[in-house]
Structure 1
Amino acid sequence: MPSTSNAFPGFPGTTLCGPLREPRQMLAEQSYDGHLSIHDDATAGELGLRAGPIEGPTHFSQFDPLLAGLFGQAWFETGCISVHYQNMVVEGETVRAFVTPPTNGQQVAHIWAEKSDGTPVLKGTASIGPVPDAAHEIPQRIAKLRPPAGLVINHDLTVGQCGAQAETITMGFHQHMGNYYPFSLADKLKVITEPSPWYTLEGDTLSPWGRAIIPLEMISVLLGSTVKLAGFSGRGPAVGLFAGQQIRLLKGPLFVDQAYDLQREIIALSESARTESAWVRTRVFEAGTQEPVAEMILNSATLKHSYANYEADARALGLIT
């Protein structure tokens, strides 16, 4: 059960606090564009990191008990989590989730996660129901973006660009999710930080919806497993990471062994001193219908210095002399 400080859930000054958990690394063998990812220890070391980081949405599970306690069953049906990732976590480190409930008529909770030494991991917002996107962390960050001065890696991508082909996806318990996610739901459930009988094979009799549901963190895996089909890859080979993410359930939860259609669109392009980002909205529909059930916004950032031809391409594009 979540613990509280200062007051009771829903009262001004309350902070909900979860237990310290040790999330597990599941992406050491992830690969794309013919190379391993930042989650591989050797690749991470080449980029100046001490080890391959755990993927950001892994931490979403630690918020589920807190937000379900705050919002009830609706959290799994119309919940929205929207976060900016701050610092990477490697296996062996422990993380705690925090939630400040909405007060004074507000609809949005503020959330954050920290390592045991207080190092920030992520920060953002959470809500249920038809809360305007503008109230959440990721849309607020998009609204503040300045036009990029000159993209190199993402030079050939455009805002408004849609996925190159139709995508239909499912997630079975023992279904290997491909090179992007080289594990199954069953593998994840063995190490997930917050187990639930609703996620299991017995979910058809144990969950309120009469079916096993996909954990929130695994929605990211579901939607990311076929992203290559969208054709949004920038110039490479280069190494990327998740810099921010929002998952919103419209008519949830999402179910194991259920087919879903996806539509993807680039909604923003940006850059920082170290990265170039493509912000992609993925809409999720019941397969064969136009019934929206969920959506995700992902800030997929690529490290400039991981692209060997960055300077040469920048010069050829007239961005540097």
Structure 2
Amino acid sequence: MTLASPFSTPLSLCGPLRQPRQMLAEQTYDGHKSIHDDATAENLGLRAGPIEGPTHFSQFDPLLVQVFGQQWFETGCISAHYQTMVVEGESVRAFVEQPTPGATFVRIHAEKADGTPVLTGTASVGASTQPHELEQRIAKLRPPTGLVINRDLKVGQRGAAPETIRMGFHQHMGDHYPFTLADKLKVITEPCPWYTPEGGAQSPWGRPIIPTEMISVLLGSTTMEAKLKGRSPAVGLFAGQQIRLIQGPLFVDQDYALEREIIALSESARTESAWIRTRVFELPSRTLVAEMILNSAVMKASYPHYERDARELGLTV
């Protein structure tokens, strides 16, 4: 017989320290390197090109499967605000709050070996009755008053073109993601046979599934087609991200259609942000299977015309 604990102290599951790999050093867009390139990052005052935020999502998958079981890959939602950049060679550990019996919503966080926070957020399965991390942050946003780079964007603006995507094991995902799923699976921090051609056939769905972190790659590979971006040239970064499966998992070699919409605009001292929701429909049925919310931030210091344009707009910089 298990004795019910007399304590109300919140406890967490934690994973091992991992050293995620940098996969985006050669990423380009608008004809220039991204923040993940060391030289570009150093020009913006960073010590090296950071690892892409959703890379850390893989470290949560084993913990969330432990908490929620197979349902994590079918109706799971992970929502994270990125706090500190991580460069290759640094170690990171993931933490998931242990839920009370029957609970389907938990807090999550990740930190470096020295305790430096990497991200904070929430995770759930099924229809959540609580707002997730990014939803809470969007609700607290104040209307921006000094947009320069993103001044042409509007809340409610939709993607300019229909996007159809798929991810094969050896499919190059374009300049935005200059690697393949097979490349990622060689270095992913948490390998799983369900991600592979051989093991996928033995998965509960009889097919290989796309890892949570690679859903971001799948949905981001055609983002330039949507034309939901501000003035250029400018260097962007992910400031926060939410991936929600509605009828998951997402599968390798499956066609999907995307619809994008700006749901909020915001600004900080150093960045301007477009918060974009991407809805994912399985083809040919057009069944809604997933959604992503991305806080796509751009660094003011990376836009060479920022001060000139701000003055022309009557803004104080």
TM-score (structure 1 length as normaliser): 0.94
Distance in 1 (alpha carbons) for counterparts of 2:270 and 2:68: 38
DSSP 3-state at the match of 2:152: coil
2:78 touches 2:244 (CA, 8 Å); kept in 1? yes
Shift of 1:13: 2.7
Question: What's 2:309 paired with?
Answer: 313
Question: What's 1:50 paired with?
Answer: 47
Distance in 1 (alpha carbons) for counterparts of 2:35 and 2:18: 22
Question: Does residue 186 of structure 2 align to residue 190 of structure 1?
Answer: yes
Shift of 1:205: 2.2
Distance in 1 (alpha carbons) for counterparts of 2:161 and 2:10: 48
User: 1:189-234: CA deviations, max 9, x gaps?
Assistant: 0000000000001134221100000000000000000000001120
Question: Does residue 30 of structure 2 align to residue 33 of structure 1?
Answer: yes
| Amino acid corresponding to residue 245 of structure 1 in structure 2 | Q
Classify 1:26/1:113 alpha carbon distance in 2 versus 1 (closer, same or farther; 3 Å).
same
User: 1:264-306: CA deviations, max 9, x gaps?
Assistant: 0000000000000000000000123331000000000000011
DSSP 3-state at the match of 1:256: coil
2:75 touches 2:245 (CA, 8 Å); kept in 1? yes
Matches within 5 A, 1:220-259: 220-259=216-255
User: 1:48-83: CA deviations, max 9, x gaps?
Assistant: 111100000000000000000000000000000000
| Amino acid corresponding to residue 141 of structure 2 in structure 1 | L
2:193 touches 2:200 (CA, 8 Å); kept in 1? no
Shift of 1:12: 5.7
Q: Which blocks of at least 5 consecutive residues in structure 1 are unaligned?
A: 1-6
Question: What's 2:12 paired with?
Answer: 15
DSSP 3-state at the match of 1:80: strand
User: 1:93-144: CA deviations, max 9, x gaps?
Assistant: 0000001023376431100000000000000000000114x52100000000
Distance in 2 (alpha carbons) for counterparts of 1:12 and 1:127: 20
Aligned match for 1:277, one of 259, 267, 273? 273
DSSP 3-state at the match of 2:201: helix
Distance in 2 (alpha carbons) for counterparts of 1:204 and 1:23: 23
User: 1:2-29: CA deviations, max 9, x gaps?
Assistant: xxxxx99xx9632101000000000000
1:203 touches 1:210 (CA, 8 Å); kept in 2? no
Shift of 1:316: 1.5
Question: What's 1:267 paired with?
Answer: 263
Question: What's 1:135 paired with?
Answer: 131
Distance in 2 (alpha carbons) for counterparts of 1:63 and 1:204: 20
- Aligned identity (percent) is 74
Distance in 2 (alpha carbons) for counterparts of 1:204 and 1:102: 29
Shift of 1:86: 0.2
1:101 touches 1:108 (CA, 8 Å); kept in 2? no
Question: Does residue 208 of structure 2 align to residue 209 of structure 1?
Answer: no
Question: Does residue 57 of structure 2 align to residue 60 of structure 1?
Answer: yes
| Amino acid corresponding to residue 96 of structure 1 in structure 2 | R
1:203 touches 1:213 (CA, 8 Å); kept in 2? no
| Amino acid corresponding to residue 240 of structure 2 in structure 1 | G
Matches within 5 A, 1:104-119: 106-119=103-116
| Amino acid corresponding to residue 269 of structure 1 in structure 2 | L
Question: Does residue 185 of structure 2 align to residue 161 of structure 1?
Answer: no
DSSP 3-state at the match of 1:299: strand
| Amino acid corresponding to residue 227 of structure 1 in structure 2 | T
2:104 touches 2:126 (CA, 8 Å); kept in 1? no
Classify 1:286/1:149 alpha carbon distance in 2 versus 1 (closer, same or farther; 3 Å).
same
TM-score (structure 2 length as normaliser): 0.96
User: 1:29-61: CA deviations, max 9, x gaps?
Assistant: 000011000000000110111110000000000
2:96 touches 2:109 (CA, 8 Å); kept in 1? yes
Distance in 2 (alpha carbons) for counterparts of 1:152 and 1:162: 20
Q: Which blocks of at least 5 consecutive residues in structure 2 are unaligned?
A: none
Question: What's 1:95 paired with?
Answer: 92
